[in-house]
């Protein structure tokens, strides 16, 4: 199962989907597009503690985290 993790006020919200299920993948891609369109940045987990920016939807990513856009403090 692949997971999309979205940072929010509750800590995070996780959406799991089966990468073998075409319908689930379509839904995950739609979620990816909506979040990145809203300013979220997506990162794919590549190793232990390492992340990589995702510019487009990657169905093979096992774990993707979405963070809101950055602002100065």
Partner 1 sequence: MRRLLETCERLAREVLDRFPEDPPRLGRTLLVASGYGDDTELRVEWSNGLRQRVSLDIWDARRLRHPPEMDQFRERLLSCYVELMQAHVDALRRRRARENGETPAPDAIVRTLGVRFDRDLVAILGDAYLGSVGTGPAAEATGGLTIDAILEQVRAAEAYMRPSRNMTASELRAREAEYFRSVQERLARGEDSVEFRYLGGYRWAERDWRRERDARDEAERRNHYRARAEAEHRGLALLREWLTPEQRAQYDAHRWFEVRGSHSGKTYRIRHGEVQNVFALDGEGREAQGWCFGPAGGLVAGDVMLAQKLALETDEKDALAVANQFFTAEMVTMFTERPERSDRSWRFMGIPVHFSARVRAAFARPAPAWANAVGASCEQHFGNSRGG
Positions in the binding site for partner 1 (CB under 8 A): 5, 7-12, 39, 41, 43, 45, 48-53, 65, 67-73
- Between 23 and 56, name the residue whose CB sits nearer to partner 1: 56
Name the 3-class secondary structure at 54.
strand
Side-chain half-sphere CA neighbours of 56 within 13 A: 0
The helix or strand, by DSSP H or E, that contains position 13, with its residue range, turns out to be strand 11-17
Q: How far is the CB of 28 from partner 1 (least distance, A)?
A: 19
- Between 61 and 65, name the residue whose CB sits nearer to partner 1: 65
């Amino acid at each position: 199962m692949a997971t999309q993790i979205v940072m929010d006020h509750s800590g995070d919200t996780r959406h799991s989907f089966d990468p073998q299920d075409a319908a689930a993948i379509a839904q995950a891609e739609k979620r990816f597009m909506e979040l990145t369109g809203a300013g979220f940045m997506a990162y794919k987990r590549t190793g232990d503690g390492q992340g990589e920016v995702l510019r487009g939807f990657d169905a093979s990513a096992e774990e993707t985290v979405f963070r809101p856009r950055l602002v100065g403090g």
